[in-house]
Each structure stands twice: as C-alpha cells, then as structure tokens.
C-alpha cells in the first residue's frame, strides 16, 4: 500500500488535534503541580502513638526450652585471589 502525501489542510487539522490532546494531557497530569497545597492545621495531623512492649511473653515456658545456635568457626585457609576482577 502506497503512502500518500497528506494535504496541507489535513496536516493543519492533524496538528490542531495533536495540540489539543497535548494540552489535555498536560492539564490532566500537571494539575497536581499547579494547585497550591492546602496547609494542615495541627488538629488535623495524626497523633503520635505510643508503643508498648509486653515482656511477659518472653517468660513463656516454651521459649525457655529454646537452645541457641552453636557458633560457626572462622574460615581457615586461603581465601581466593588478591584481585578477583583481573582475568585469568
């Protein structure tokens, strides 16, 4: 199928349609940048919650029976090349 040249009048209409679409997209996605933020009053801010830890849970007999992991010994021997980024 051959690509036909677009007439000058049709090109103007197409350019206007693209301009209108671009303006609509800028208005839609840019509205958050142009609107001034409303300032919050101190009474509308969320109040800080105090965290309380219940240490009585740690006195459970099931937790008393747990054993700690044994320590892993440090590695003995040579640990690779001096510069691992050099090719072989």
Q: What is the pLDDT along the chain (88 residues), one digit of tens a residue?
A: 556 666 777 888 889 999 999 999 888 887 777 666 666 666 667 778 889 999 998 898 898 888 888 988 888 888 888 898 999 8
Q: Which two tokens stand for residue 28?
A: 């839609």
The Cα 27–Cα 39 span in angstroms is 23
- DSSP annotation string for 48-86: PPPP---GGGGG-HHHHT--PPPPPPPP-S--S-S-TTS
Task: Determine the Cα–Cα distance for residues 88 and 75; give it in Å rounded to an integer.
Answer: 24
């Amino acid at each position: 199928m051959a690509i036909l040249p677009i007439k000058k009048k049709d090109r103007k209409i197409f350019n206007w349609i693209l301009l209108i679409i671009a303006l609509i997209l800028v208005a839609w996605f840019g509205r958050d940048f142009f609107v001034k933020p409303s300032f919050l009053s101190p009474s509308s801010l969320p109040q800080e919650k105090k965290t309380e830890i219940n240490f009585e849970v740690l006195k459970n007999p099931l937790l008393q029976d747990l054993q700690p992991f044994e320590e892993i010994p440090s590695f003995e021997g040579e640990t690779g090349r001096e510069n691992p980024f050099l090719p072989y």
